[in-house]
Amino acid sequence: MIRVAVVDDEPLARRGVISQLAAFDDLVLTGEYEDGPAALAGLRETLPDLVFLDVQMPGMNGLDVLAALPPERRPLAILLTAHEGFAVRAFALNAVDYLLKPLDDPRFGEAVARARSLLRLRGLDVSAVDARAAAPLRPLKKFLVRIGSRTLFIRADAVEWISADGDYAVLHVGARTYMVRESLHQLATQLDPARFVRVHRSSIVRLDQVAELQPLTNRDAVLRLHDGTPVRVSRTYIDALLVALHARA
């Protein structure tokens, strides 16, 4: 089981997160806190594995709470508001994803799956019961692609990026493309979170393929892969992408 705490100074926001947690049978709530000092005391006492944490709170913000905890006692964090400029500091404080309010069900599930995968890499037993949210025991290593009567096996580490095509996903491998019968949301919960990151509702990129990131005026961005391919990044995913890129730096 994954022990979870929720920190937000808005009661409605806290209840919203807690109601979302009810969909995951492998998450157990250890505490909820309405301000930074209370959260700091509670996290020190209960030692959760994961905390959903509001960035902006009066007096002591969410990142200050994380910074006040010793690294060995610091939980993974999913931040509940996205603020440009927090990404580098957030990475150093175990932030693994950002969620914009109001919370979105698919993004919430992806953030939980990402945290679950990283906790598993730390050696924590996080076997999931709920099939709707469960991530595989190991990240997906190969894709099975059916072309007529043939079945091709495409290595995940050969895929440069993935785009959506309705309820299907398209693998981009060099100049070739392959369609798989899974949605982008399903793949986002199965791939290695240290190597693949969703950057838009219609695209996932392999992090080591990112060559350039160009911000746009609306807080969206465009990234270019090493082969020159442009991929749009939406503001919903930009901070999580920055955290993941800094983790590889």
pLDDT in tens, 16-36: 999 999 989 899 999 999 999
Start and end residues for every CATH 2.40.50.1020 domain found in the chain: 142-248
Q: Residue 84's pLDDT band (boundaries 50, 70, 90)?
A: low
Q: Where are the alpha helices (DSSP H) in the chain?
A: 11-21, 36-46, 62-67, 87-92, 105-121, 184-188, 235-248
pTM: 0.63
Which span out of 89-93, 96-100, 159-163, 194-198 was modeled with the highest average pLDDT? Answer: 159-163
CATH architecture for residues 142-248: Beta Barrel (2.40)
pLDDT in tens, 46-60: 999 999 999 888 889
CB-count burial class (<10 Å; 0-12, 13-18, 19+) for 151:
exposed
Both tokens of 231, joined, read 């991929």
Q: Residue 135's pLDDT band (boundaries 50, 70, 90)?
A: very low
Query: Residue 213: its pLDDT value, please?
Result: 92
Q: Looking at residues 190-219, what average pLDDT do you find? A: 91
Of all residues in the chain, the percent with pLDDT exceeding 90 is 54
Average pLDDT, whole number, for the chain? 86
Nearest to 182 by CA among 206, 199, 164, 155: 164
Q: What is each CA distance from 234 to 15, 86, 179, 222, 223, in whole angstroms?
A: 27, 17, 23, 9, 11
Query: Residue 92: its pLDDT value, please?
Result: 67
How many Cβ atoms are within 10 Å of 35's Cβ, its own excluded?
A: 16
Judge whether residue 82 has pLDDT over 60. Answer: no
CATH of 2-121, one of 3.40.50.1980, 3.40.50.2300, 3.40.50.300, 3.30.420.40: 3.40.50.2300
Both tokens of 189, joined, read 């919960």
Both tokens of 206, joined, read 């392999």
